[in-house]
A = this chain, B = another copy of it.
Amino acid sequence: MASEKLTEISQHPSPSEDAGADVADYLLGSDLSKLRGWVEARSASFLRSADAGERSPIRRVREKFRSCEVPDTAMALDDYLSLLDQDVLPHCSSLASPRYLGHMTSPIPGFLPELGRLVQTLNQNVVKMETSGSLTFVERQVLGMLHKETYGFDTAFYDRRVQDRDSTLGLFASGGTIANLTALRAAKQRASVHAGGGARMAVIGSELMHYSFAKGADLMGLELRRVPVDEQNRMLPAALEREIEACEAEGVTVAALIAIAGTTEFGSVDPLASICRLGQARNIHVHVDAAWGGGFLLSPRNRHILAGIELADTVTIDGHKQLMVPLGCGMLFFRDPEVSKTIMHHAPYAVRPNSEDQGRFTLEGTRPATAIYVHAALHLIGKSVYDALFSASLERTRIMARHIEGMPEFELTSRPDMNILTYRYIPEAMRGTTPGPADNHRISRFNVALQRAQRDKGDSFVSRTFRPVSRHGDEPLALLRAVLLNPRTTEDDILFLLRDQVGIARELENSPAFHE
């Protein structure tokens, strides 16, 4: 990739001259062995790193990315890789570290980025058969496989439906947000049949609904109503029933009930069966947001956590969370594939009504063939390893909860249904008594400072959230949030993280700012 040559090339635009061929060769024919070695080394060092965070002050990193000039002449590859080495890679989040327990991303199995190179080279566009060929069928097969894990219909059902061109068992989306939006769209269509298009409509879920529902409700002109959760952070069906009745009394049509199978903040699971039965009895669409928890369906020993999901009208599952595939693998499933027909779109040049095009069903248009990642993961990991993986994650969560409960410095603030837990640090002066509102406010400020200091120190990481904890009343409290997803995290890592926090907290407690 000699940049000298490219200046010459750009003088000769015609494809019938040599220069056109030179451009093509430059773009498509370069020797990539050097780049490959560099990628290999950087990938390995990222995966090996035990650091969990960011050491450089973010302000200093930001300054490196101010220039808005597109280079006239191509940069030499070496120079570009140096730029990545100096300014980008050292300041990425260390999601692969076994001591980074903060968010819903984990290191992914090495075979997936390898396949990713092929997926990107093939560059198939699954909006349409003509641009994706067999990948359209792969996508439908993967959706069929996970539909079966979710709903468990018989073989005859899947044989008839999995490749039926008139409907679909589900669809891929860039993420859970677009999947949830699409579910709301289907629910609104269904409700409109009875209520008419102009009716006031509401969506009801717990106060822990993902913010994608707020986005969707806002876009679609639906009211979003939130009902309380119990002390385990699970929706109260009685409160849901009251809210449905309130809607009826106000002349508001309830378009959908949302049940959560793994809340983002606590990993708690709503009573799925009760909520689904309530929806069925009243002919209201029930959507289960299992973006986080859906993967547990692949764990025979643990799928009971999701009991009742098979009654939902639609279900969202994110492959890129618990199935450990790269980002960009949201999925939506329809219990009754006929429902997919209510959200069909087509265009004269692209997706056609009588085709096999999956683009007829998706809110998105052009999409990459991310289904291949889920296909590969299901085949190369298999249910028994997923089972071991989920069991180990739950065990890790229990171990962490036990350690938190055993340490006087911490208060466990949620009992985990899945592999997420929350807790907070209690400054020494406040231990042993029940904190009042002013104390809790102070403890919250302390935990925000603690989480920031831990992130900046960079040896371990948890995230934080801001939510009420029932035994402390209705005021939101700052909570530390651990997501136990990384298969490499050991008990030692967990202890390291907790002790790291205690150490940082003691320093904070001794600082003058704490005593102001």
Q: Is the CB of A110 within 8 A of B26?
A: no
B134 close to A68 (CB less than 8 A) = no
Interface string of A188-204 (1 = CB under 8 A from B): 00000000000000000
Q: Is A278 located at the chain interface by the 8 A CB criterion?
A: no
Interface pair B10/A384, CB less than 8 Å apart: yes
Q: In the complex, A133→B52 CA distance in Å?
A: 12
Which stretch, A238-246, A248-256, A332-340, A459-467, touches the partner chain B?
A459-467
Expressed in whole angstroms, the minimum distance between the Cβ of A390 and any Cβ of chain B is: 8
Question: A23 to B385, Cβ gap below 8 A?
Answer: yes
- Is the CB–CB distance between A14 and B211 below 8 Å? no
Residues of B within 8 A of A490 (CB): 15-16, 20-21
Q: Using CB atoms, name the residue of chain B closest to A478.
A: B348
Assembly CA distance A211 to B359 (angstroms): 11
Which residues on B sit within 8 Å (CB–CB) of A320?
366
A466 to B: closest C-beta gap in Å: 4
With A15-B392, A162-B65, A385-B9 as contacts: A124 and B148 at CB distance below 8 Å: no
Please tell me if the beta carbons of B14 and A395 are within 8 angstroms of each other in the complex.
yes
In the bound complex, CA of A264 to CA of B92 (Å): 37
Q: Is the CB of B364 within 8 A of A68?
A: no
CB neighbours (8 Å) of A35 from chain B are: 111, 114-115
**Would you give the 0/1 interface string for A12-35, flagging 1 where the beta carbon is closer than 8 Å to chain B?**
111110011101101111101001
Q: A311 within 8 Å of B by Cβ?
A: no
A380 CB contacts on chain B under 8 angstroms: 1, 74-75, 77, 80
**What is the 8 Å Cβ interface bit string for chain A, positions 341-368, against chain B (1 contact, 0 not)?**
0000111111000001000000111111
Residues of B within 8 A of A356 (CB): 58, 62
CB of A43 within 8 A of CB of B219, answer: no
Number of copies: 2
Interface pair B28/A47, CB less than 8 Å apart: yes
Per-residue CB contact flags for chain A residues 89-113 toward chain B (1 = under 8 Å, else 0) read: 1111101100000111111111111
Residues of B within 8 A of A515 (CB): none
Report the separation of the CA atoms of residues A214 and B343 in the bound assembly, to the nearest whole angstrom: 12
Asked if B105 and A388 sit within 8 Å, CB to CB, the answer is: no
A93: B residues at CB distance < 8 A: 124, 130-133
- A interface residue count range (under 10 / 10 to 19 / 20 to 34 / 35 or more): 35 or more
Tell me if A64 counts as interface (CB < 8 A to partner B): yes
Asked if A2 CB lies within 8 Å of chain B CBs, one says no
Partner of A384, one of B32, B73, B363: B73
**Contacts A14-B392, A118-B39, A134-B65 given: A368-B74 contact, CB under 8 Å?**
no
Contact status of A32 and B68, CB under 8 A, knowing A120-B326, A131-B105, A384-B10: no
Chain B nearest CB, measured from A272 CB (Å): 21
Sample (30) of A-B pairs whose CB atoms are under 8 Å apart: A3-B382, A6-B382, A9-B385, A14-B391, A15-B395, A15-B489, A20-B490, A27-B389, A28-B47, A29-B110, A32-B111, A35-B114, A36-B114, A39-B118, A54-B133, A61-B134, A74-B382, A88-B135, A91-B134, A92-B132, A93-B124, A95-B122, A105-B125, A108-B123, A113-B117, A117-B117, A130-B455, A175-B364, A215-B345, A264-B349
Knowing that A14-B395, A68-B158 touch, tell me 9 more A-B residue pairs with CB under 8 angstroms.
A35-B115, A43-B121, A70-B146, A87-B134, A88-B135, A91-B133, A93-B124, A103-B125, A113-B116
